[in-house]
Structure 1
Amino acid sequence: MRRRRRPPPSPLPQRDGIDPVRIRLPEDPGGRWATVYDHVAARYGPERAGAMFAGRRIVSVEGSVTADEPYTAGRYLWFHRDFAPEEHVPFEIGIVHRDERLLVVDKPHFLATTPRGRHITETALARLRRDLGLPGLQPAHRLDRLTAGLVLFVVREEDRGAYQRLFGERRVRKEYEGVARHDPGVELPRTVRSRIVKEHGVMAAHEVAGEPNSESRIELVERRGGLGRYRLLPTTGRTHQLRVHMNALGLPLLDDPLFPVVREPEEGDWSRPLQLLAKVLEFTDPVTGEPYRFDSRLRLSRWR
């Protein structure tokens, strides 16, 4: 089986911490595209394609690409996306650890980890790349936009796979903290196992019958004023897993806009952050063999 060659490096720099879009022109056995413009117009629409070519925004390794250039399968092109205006998330990212290989940060509530959907420039990755001057920065894992706490980023591209495998193979001990109501009738500690699915277009993940694909250890750390502070230890990493499991116990996390019922948060309302914090990351460094433990410096607002 023939291996595809690695694409050449982009001739365009990042913009606002975001990589340019890369296109590899596919094979065209039917001869549908005589020119580069024909393919770009079919892909993005004639109006958008025309504007990009008129603005000389599409480039190859040789330089700016014109609309009438003949179509060549396998050729790489790049361009910068137009970013829709995004509301600024008014919270800082805390630096917990930084060296030549790793960057560990405290991500605030409401800030997405990586560009996705309508959150592109207002993400932890984009901010850190541009603010710290680290264009090659990549996340080793992802933290939900509404969850605060520790996220590990990899500085050098050649190290990225080792740290992503660390998370993919569940060799990282992750500890979360959550605040929910206290119910003396719920027996804790306990391990919760269930099958969780996340359907496309449905905001909240949910449990279904079947073989469990998720596991969480839930412990009550302390209680006061009708509330409990909980230690949450996920063994697996399904979407919304801890939130689903706490809700299934009748202990939905405070200020969760998805559980027990979905509510649409008001735009620009930062007053009710989800009471869930990624508190501890602990692992053996796959490159150096050094043991690491990182502790979040953030605190949940409902337990101060």
Structure 2
Amino acid sequence: MALPDLSKRLLYRDGLLLVIDKPAGIAVHAGPSGGLSLEAGFDALRFGLPRPPALAHRLDRDTSGCLALGRHPKALRKLAALFREGRVEKVYWALVMGAPPEPEGQLDRALEKMSSREVGWRMRPADKGGLQASTRWRTLGSGGGLSWLELRPLTGRTHQIRVHCAALGCPILGDPVYATTRPPAGLRLHLRARSLRLPLYRSKEPVAVTAPLPDDMAATLAARGFPLNQ
């Protein structure tokens, strides 16, 4: 996969903040072994400033949608405080297999990291200890063996939404790690960082940004008659 022109994926821009539409399948930063990452394309997002922007938070490699960047160190400190204090409203949309036990609710389930030679590392619900994690869900539609969920993570743990959906008995469509069966080749993770709402300025309304649906997710929703104007 080639790195896209991130300037064409810009959803919001002001003096402190950029929000881009992160594509699926690209890590936000290079791992220990290197490889393609979004950070390699941040120089195209300087827009006249002396240095490129930097990540204010992170999304999984396979998750797409709203990703916030701070344009300079002062902006990054302000954004980091908002995310750390839980003041950023994050909304995700997911297509899941099956349905949660109730149309809406909140799952409070600690998570821990595990690793093995066979499968590498992943996150799992922790019976004791672990990092506290909470996710609210609401069902927006259901049919054909799938459910369309709105998910609001109240904490920001690695793979939180993916693990919590699997723990609810409805893993995300296309999840190669947490689904009970491996998805068909070419079926990507149907998880979208749909919107961000950031109270960035004291005397202004919060900055609200929404990412449009990618074609494959929109097609799956439309095929089941789910209304997309929510």
RMSD: 2.7
Query: Any gaps of 5 or more consecutive residues in structure 2?
Result: 223-230
Shift of 1:203: 2.4
| Residues 198-244 of structure 1: CA deviation (Å, up to 9, x unaligned) | 23664220012136701111111012322111001111111111111
- The TM-score normalised by the length of structure 2 is 0.81
- Counterparts of 1:284 and 1:99 in 2: how far apart (Å)? 14
SS in 2 for 1:163: helix
- Counterparts of 1:254 and 1:132 in 2: how far apart (Å)? 36
- Counterparts of 1:238 and 1:139 in 2: how far apart (Å)? 16
Residue 169 (structure 2) aligns with: 250
Shift of 1:189: 0.6
Shift of 1:297: 1.4
Alpha carbons 1:234, 1:242 under 8 Å: kept: yes
Alpha carbons 2:46, 2:52 under 8 Å: kept: no
Alpha carbons 1:166, 1:286 under 8 Å: kept: no
- The TM-score normalised by the length of structure 1 is 0.63
- Counterparts of 1:163 and 1:247 in 2: how far apart (Å)? 30
Query: Any gaps of 5 or more consecutive residues in structure 1?
Result: 1-86
Q: Choose which of 21, 33, 42 in structure 2 pairs with 1:128.
A: 42
The one-letter code sitting in structure 2 at the alignment partner of 1:207 is P
Matched, 1:303 2:221: yes
* Gap change, CA 1:103 and 1:287, over 3 Å in 2: farther
Moved more, 217-226 or 276-285: 217-226
- Counterparts of 1:172 and 1:262 in 2: how far apart (Å)? 34
* Gap change, CA 1:228 and 1:298, over 3 Å in 2: same
The one-letter code sitting in structure 1 at the alignment partner of 2:66 is L
- Counterparts of 1:173 and 1:221 in 2: how far apart (Å)? 18
SS in 2 for 1:179: strand
The one-letter code sitting in structure 1 at the alignment partner of 2:108 is R
Shift of 1:170: 0.8
Q: Choose which of 143, 147, 158 in structure 2 pairs with 1:228.
A: 147
Alpha carbons 2:54, 2:71 under 8 Å: kept: yes
* Gap change, CA 1:261 and 1:88, over 3 Å in 2: farther
Identity of aligned residues (%): 28
- Counterparts of 2:173 and 2:114 in 1: how far apart (Å)? 24
Residue 207 (structure 2) aligns with: 292
Residue 24 (structure 2) aligns with: 109
Residue 228 (structure 2) aligns with: none
Q: Which aligned pairs between 1:97-176 and structure 2 lie closer than 5 A?
A: 97-120=12-35, 122-130=36-44, 135-176=51-92
Residue 216 (structure 1) aligns with: 135
Shift of 1:284: 0.8
Residue 3 (structure 1) aligns with: none
Q: Greater RCO between the two (CA within 8 Å, min separation 6)?
A: 2
Alpha carbons 1:163, 1:286 under 8 Å: kept: no
| Residues 124-181 of structure 1: CA deviation (Å, up to 9, x unaligned) | 2221324656633111101111100000101122221111111111110100000012
* Gap change, CA 1:156 and 1:90, over 3 Å in 2: closer
- Counterparts of 1:236 and 1:99 in 2: how far apart (Å)? 26
| Residues 264-293 of structure 1: CA deviation (Å, up to 9, x unaligned) | x99xx7x32201000010121157654111
Residue 98 (structure 2) aligns with: 182
Shift of 1:303: 2.2
Residue 121 (structure 2) aligns with: 203
| Residues 91-137 of structure 1: CA deviation (Å, up to 9, x unaligned) | 966110112221101101101112223454x2222213246566331
* Gap change, CA 1:170 and 1:197, over 3 Å in 2: same
- Counterparts of 2:203 and 2:38 in 1: how far apart (Å)? 26
Matched residue count: 212
